[in-house]
Structure 1
Amino acid sequence: MTASTIALDLTADVAELTAALIDINSVSGNEGAIADAVEAALRGLPHLRVLRDGDAIVAWTELGRTERVVLAGHLDTVPLPTVPYSRGTVPSSWDGEVLYGRGATDMKGGVAVQLALAAQLKEPSRDVTYVFYDHEEVQASLSGLGRLVRHHRGLLDGDFAILLEPTNGTVEGGCNGTSRFEVTTTGKAAHSARAWMGQNAIHAAAEILARLRDHEPATVTVDGLDYRESLNAVKINGGTAGNVIPDKTIVEINYRFAPDKTPDDAEAYVRELLDGFAVVRTDAAAGARPGLNHPAAADFVAAVGAEPKPKYGWTDVARFSELGIPAVNFGPGDALLAHTDNEHVHAGAIRACLDALRRWLA
């Protein structure tokens, strides 16, 4: 921390606190300023112990309660919009009770809720660990949460975890897994004026695209929640020049699979669908089962009062699941607005999320 560290008022309205967090540019790789501000605010709370690792901060109570809950959220955002006059940028702006700015939904509203709870809950009914981390929006190897697992595994222990990703104030259990593949076709280069002398690798990729087009994604019920899968080509690369028959084409594929499968199961499924082609897995992250049968999770769902839903995208609940900690997503804002040029959240949604968690924990 430096003399120029931004001061956050944790006693302010939680929506105004969200605006203050948005005003701190924290695109992935540039989380230092917001981490300084969060650390300074937490160290001002005598009922918490605080540790910082890089640009990740952990704060926790030590009240000797029979249960411990982990509340987690990431500090970084995707890059700012490049479209002129976009409202989902930095600094924030208000339109009545609607707050615009990069990170409004993903996920500075959730971070503001964490900070407000940290300040207000001096003697919660459960011990609470607050986790704020960097580098969520980039490759998994850089994840601040992953670094905390490696360096301070014990600090992440808990009976139940809540990731404050945007869910419109509804509990979303678990998450789909995700994997990426490259499928390569090879041909023979030739002058396009004498195409019969070559073999067109791009044309050979048509069969890959046809199988993906005709594939019917499954809906898989896991622990009572219906997870919709998706399997799609997301990029295609091939060709060297406008007068050369291409001798190589790579189709990149993304598979979002239900949490009843492991990444190896997902790979086997893709290989079977694309039998006869060269398939290479380039990335994979396991999903997470809902874990809603855990007593703490069931108690939280009952306190929120809304029917839980599945999380179709991948989130860091999967990291907690790998640690053996049941985890759900619950936060303010519409996930469909995340990363958009008009990213925004309603102030009432942030306040409602804070109220729900405060009632449950107090």
Structure 2
Amino acid sequence: MSAALDLHADPVDLTAALVDVASVSGEEKVLADAVETALRREPHLEVVRCGETVLARTALGRDRRVLLAGHLDTVPIADNVPSRREGDLLYGCGTSDMKAGVAVMAHLTAALAEPAHDVTLVLYDCEEVEAVRNGLNRVERERRDWLDADLAILGEPTSGLVEGGCQGTMRVVVTLHGRRAHSARWWLGENAIHAAAPVLARLAAYEAREVDIDGCVYREGLQAVRIGGGVAGNVVPDEAEVTVNFRFAPDRSLADAEAHVRAVLAGFALRVTDAAPGALPGLSAPAAAKFVAASGETPVAKYGWTDVSRFSALGIPAVNFGPGDPNLAHTRDEHVDVRRITAGAETLRRYLA
């Protein structure tokens, strides 16, 4: 199977064309082939393939380089491919997250042969699954120089807003121990599930910190997201676990975040099971400040984790900017307002041209 793409088409039509090529995580090859073929038609671009990630860039000797990044994959299809249009709404799997953003970026990379900044386009695979499969890992290992830039713009859905940086995330498991006994003679045991009550009480009473970084206000959160325990319907359980998720502002390192969680839950045994650092917005960097000015938007904090964290770790200022609505991502009726696609393309064109 093959697909043909016209990168010079209206970004709205290009979004629909991208959606019509199914690309569930791990199955991006057909779409990656089509994108690569289309980009190779552009004489002003150098194009390489890295697994199922497609990279293209200009080499015009400009003072600054802007990297445009987006993932080609989607979550599993839910009877929402091919795309369909109803008025100003375009429906289909990946419309919001994030083929509309990919369409805008790929269109402008192809259409602007003489941009004001050198441009790098990175369209990668496997963002919607476990982090170890993310195509950016492969690019960093095999094509590290392709990630160098003065600013990275990720087309993650932001409803057309400029979202600076992202929160960090950490999951910890609190383990409570007791002593097993028959529930009819409960006083001979110690109930581990009951022992979780003070953990939950501390979390319920937790006061979230707010911090302003580059004008973006990040609000932290410490939430129980899972609780488990129990042996049988007539047994006092001797072990229970509470999984806690900490979403923290990017001014905290992973070590700082862990220390904070341990302080809040002092006295309880816990282990960190997953963690990813946040990303500072970096909006004071010249390239980022110029993009904010071009957008005409007041930047806001990104609530959640995105791949801007990877670029921040490389010392590259990064922002999220995409036409999709994050609240519609992964839903059965996922859609995008085509007016935001057009507006997003105009904003990015002003900045690049």
TM-score in same-fold range (> 0.5): yes
Unaligned runs of 5+ in 1: none
2:350 is aligned, of 344, 347, 359, to 359
Q: Pairwise mapping of residues 109-128 of structure 1 onto structure 2 (< 5 A)?
A: 109-128=100-119
| In 1: Cα distance, 2:232 partner to 2:256 partner | 38
2:268 is aligned, of 274, 277, 302, to 277
Q: What secondary structure sits across from 1:128 in the alignment? A: strand
Q: Tell whether 2:289 aligns with 1:298.
A: yes
**Deviation per CA, 1:162-209, whole angstroms, max 9, x where unpaired?**
111111212111111111111110112222222222211111111111
Give 1:140's aligned amino acid.
A
Per-residue deviation, 1:240: 2.3
Q: TM-score, normalised by structure 1?
A: 0.95
Q: What secondary structure sits across from 1:108 in the alignment? A: helix
| In 2: Cα distance, 1:79 partner to 1:194 partner | 49
Aligned to 1:191: 182
Per-residue deviation, 1:341: 2.4
Q: Pairwise mapping of residues 331-346 of structure 1 onto structure 2 (< 5 A)?
A: 331-346=322-337
| In 1: Cα distance, 2:13 partner to 2:30 partner | 18
Q: What secondary structure sits across from 2:251 in the alignment? A: coil
Aligned to 2:145: 154
Q: Tell whether 2:137 aligns with 1:140.
A: no
Number of residues of Structure 1 aligned to a counterpart in Structure 2: 353
| In 2: Cα distance, 1:242 partner to 1:104 partner | 47
| In 2: Cα distance, 1:28 partner to 1:206 partner | 39
1:5 is aligned, of 2, 5, 26, to 2
Aligned to 2:161: 170
Larger CA deviation: 221-230 vs 55-64: 221-230
Aligned to 2:41: 44
Aligned to 1:224: 215
| In 2: Cα distance, 1:323 partner to 1:142 partner | 19
Larger CA deviation: 242-251 vs 177-186: 242-251
Aligned to 1:62: 59
Aligned to 1:104: 95
Give 1:165's aligned amino acid.
E
Contact 2:215 / 2:300 at 8 angstroms: preserved in 1? no
Aligned to 1:347: 338
Q: Tell whether 2:329 aligns with 1:329.
A: no
Q: Pairwise mapping of residues 16-35 of structure 1 onto structure 2 (< 5 A)?
A: 16-35=13-32
Q: What secondary structure sits across from 1:302 in the alignment? A: helix
Q: What secondary structure sits across from 2:193 in the alignment? A: helix
**Deviation per CA, 1:47-88, whole angstroms, max 9, x where unpaired?**
11111111111100111111110000011112234xxxx6xx
Q: Quote the RMSD (CA, aligned, Å).
A: 1.2
| In 2: Cα distance, 1:18 partner to 1:238 partner | 46
| In 1: Cα distance, 2:205 partner to 2:220 partner | 14
